[in-house]
């Protein structure tokens, strides 16, 4: 099976009704203070702080400080074991499909000839290994309810971006896009500011409706 599943830690984080309510409040992309999230979840400020701490440690939520005020939002970029997850991971998957670097058929993912040349050109893939099915797999993203990519190539992309300082690690599994990273992703048509949209993005045939429950995500 090409789809990766079974991240019990993230499942436990999302299973709590208060944390679920907080994520729903943050789903529109806003950054909100703990007090508003406590109100949305119907819990005390002290309880909300505990829930937020767990979601930060799990890489689902990030915190942004302005003066003495702290605001919380869904983490745009994070790593899921050895590959990019969150909104950035989904946007990267969209961009690779949009540019016909990657094709998805059912649960199978494969590089096109054009995609293999791109990966080889930036040193992500040895020329004699382009047909290895382990290079790419689908990985369901818990917070986005869509698929990003796992596998050897996805891991190589993350390593490359960290080594070239396009990304840097934040707290726990969070990732920060640098100015060089904005330029790198911009070449793929990914706007890392705001909504992380992808130019001319196709409708993802694998997108799940928001009401459909999500069971798992991740890749070791």
For the stretch 115-157, pLDDT in tens is 989 998 988 877 656 666 568 888 877 667 678 898 889 999 9
Predicted pLDDT at 180: 95
- Residues 115 and 100 sit within 8 Å (Cβ to Cβ): yes
For residue 14, pLDDT over 50 is answered with yes
- According to the model, what pLDDT value does residue 206 have? 45
Q: What one-character-per-residue DSSP string does 186-214 give?
A: HHTTB--STT--BTTPPP-TTPPPTTS--
* Residue in this structure with the two tokens 């005390």, named with its chain if needed: 44
Note the pTM of the prediction, 2 decimals: 0.60
* Domains of the chain, earliest start first: 3-74 (1.10.10.10), 78-187 (no CATH)
């Amino acid at each position: 099976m090409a789809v990766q599943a079974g991240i019990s830690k993230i499942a436990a984080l999302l299973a709590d009704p208060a944390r679920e309510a907080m994520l729903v409040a943050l789903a529109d992309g806003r950054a909100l203070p703990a007090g508003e999230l406590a109100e949305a979840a119907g819990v005390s400020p002290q309880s909300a702080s505990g829930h937020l701490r767990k979601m930060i440690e799990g890489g689902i939520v990030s915190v942004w400080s302005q003066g003495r005020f702290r605001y919380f939002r869904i983490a745009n970029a994070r790593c899921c074991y050895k590959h990019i997850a969150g909104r950035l991971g989904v946007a990267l998957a969209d961009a690779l499909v949009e540019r016909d670097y990657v094709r998805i058929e059912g649960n199978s993912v494969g590089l096109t000839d054009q995609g293999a040349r791109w990966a080889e050109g930036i040193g992500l893939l040895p020329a004699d290994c382009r047909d290895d099915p382990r290079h790419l797999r689908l990985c369901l993203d818990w917070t986005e309810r869509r698929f990003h990519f796992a596998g050897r190539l996805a891991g190589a992309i993350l390593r490359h971006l960290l080594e070239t300082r396009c990304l840097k690690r934040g707290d726990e599994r969070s990732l920060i896009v640098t100015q060089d990273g904005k330029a790198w992703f911009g070449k793929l048509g990914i706007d890392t500011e705001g909504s992380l949209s992808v130019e001319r993005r196709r409708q993802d045939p694998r997108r799940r409706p928001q009401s459909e429950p999500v069971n798992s995500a991740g890749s070791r």
